[in-house]
Amino acid sequence: MILKKVFTTLACTTVMLGAVAQQKAPFKKEEFKQWAQTPPMGWNSWDCYGPTVVESEVKANADYMAKELKQSGWEYIIVDIRWFVENDKAGGYNQTDPRYVIDQYGRYQPAVNRFPSAANDKGFKALADYVHSKGLKFGIHIMRGIPKKAVEDKLPIKGTNGITADKIYTTELQCKWLKDNYTILADKPGAQEYYNSIFELYAQWGIDFIKIDDLSAPYHEGEINLIRKAIDNCGRKIVLSTSPGETPIEDAKHVSNNANMWRMVDDVWDTWPHITHLMEVAQKWYPYIAPGTWPDCDMIPLGRISVRGERGEDRMTRLTKDEQYTLMTLFTIFRSPLFFGGDLPSNDAFTLSLLTNKEVLKMHKESTGVKQLFQADGKVAITSKNSKTGDVYLALFNMSDKPISDVKVATDAIGVKNGATITDMWSGKQVGKVAGAVSKDLAPHSSVLYKISKK
């Protein structure tokens, strides 16, 4: 492995000291829940660019979001995995001879050959400024733990009296699929200081969102506690997303008290079994849907994906239109965070329509009391309410491979009265009045999303 050390200039150090001097008092316990009162919405580079995204591509997606999506509530631009590797590759990771960019305190820095604005020790500050200039927010992905290279070189941990990286690590529970980092021993002197140091840096860059990988399966409670404390002390409101894998339900209370969103499943790609699995796993997470803390269905694998991705060749999503509606209906009525995975500038009109439907996004933002009514024999019904308008929302799904007649929900199950107006939310068309029940014949893999309004 090759280490490219980035030494901070005197001018940059002066800026950093100024930022620290102006830092606010630590945020109060669970104040972070106020930072994402509605489910976060944005774009993530993973599905289309894997670990190889470059600055021009990030900017192009930010430009598109500012023009086409910002008015609909989309706001985050996220640079996903391994932005600190100069020579990574698509379709897997370069773990043979990765050229890491890392500073004298063992903190990864953006690879300048991919992110030119990071030159002269600027980190992601200039790119974050660009995104902010569009009225959007900027985020990054990291792996949990401390870089192996920092351990091997015994780099000092900023904020300690001589503690080095080799004093706070263990090889136990190292990530199985990416070997960049070691696990941090949460109880070791210097462990908290290391996480403090990286979030101090991210706050200086202007980071608004952090996705931290390999935290959930197994569940790393100790490191999550370090991360939560580091964010709360960094002086900047940074939304925390834990990932990936099926977060254990027995850790639901802890994760909801420490993160704004957490993954329920492994990566969701553009095949039907990924959606059926997600529907099954989601059943146990309905009680934990709450302002500021959101069970996460993963990224939205629609539009043009895998431009230089990890699964398959460059393509438009393999999901049929019915399946795309089903995915978006599930994500929105469940109130999952929405992070689009496709290359935004490549969107066609249909894909854009899935991301900008006003009534659907209003439901996603404002609904309460999300619950599943049933899931059996391929039939699924999910409902919620809008306390501001009194509208009731109802999603009916056919998850099977065969047509199903009369997927039905009785009026008393959703608290509506006969004569209430039923509107198809995707088309905007009124489709009838309630008469004893709400029902629909559904083709395989299809769904319907209704708004039921008072008389």
- Residue 147 is predicted with a pLDDT of 98
Strands (E), 154-226: 169-170, 181-184, 209-213
Domain 31-356 homologous superfamily, CATH? Aldolase class I (3.20.20.70)
Provide the pairing of β-strand 447-453 with 338-340.
Answer: unpaired
Binned at pLDDT 50, 70 and 90, residue 9 comes out as very low
Q: Does the CA dihedral 203-204-207-208 come out positive or negative?
A: positive
Tokens of 143: 């792996």
For residue 20, pLDDT beyond 60: no
CA Rg value for the chain:
23
Beginning with the edge strand found earlier in the chain, give each strand of the sheet holding 338-340 in spatial order: 294-296, 261-263, 239-242, 209-213, 137-143, 76-79, 41-44, 338-340
Provide the pairing of β-strand 447-453 with 421-424.
Answer: antiparallel
Distance, C-alpha 200 to centroid of its chain: 22
CA distance 197 to 14: 16
Q: Give the residue extent of every domain in the chain.
A: 31-356, 373-453
Q: Are 245 and 216 in contact (CB under 8 A)?
A: yes
For residue 184, pLDDT beyond 60: yes
Domain 373-453 homologous superfamily, CATH? Golgi alpha-mannosidase II (2.60.40.1180)
Q: What is the mean pLDDT of residues 88-93?
A: 93
Tell me whether the CATH fold assigned to 31-356 matches the one assigned to 373-453: no
Binned at pLDDT 50, 70 and 90, residue 244 comes out as confident
Q: What is the mean pLDDT of residues 384-409?
A: 97
Q: What is the DSSP letter of 67?
A: I
Nearest one of 179, 270, 271, 198 to 236, comparing CA atoms: 198
CA distance 76 to 64: 12
Q: Please identify which residue in the block is written with the tokens 């063992």.
A: 106
Binned at pLDDT 50, 70 and 90, residue 455 comes out as low
* Side chain identity at residue 158, one-letter code: K
Distances (CA, A) of 313 to 47, 52, 306: 11, 15, 6
Provide the pairing of β-strand 392-398 with 404-410.
Answer: unpaired
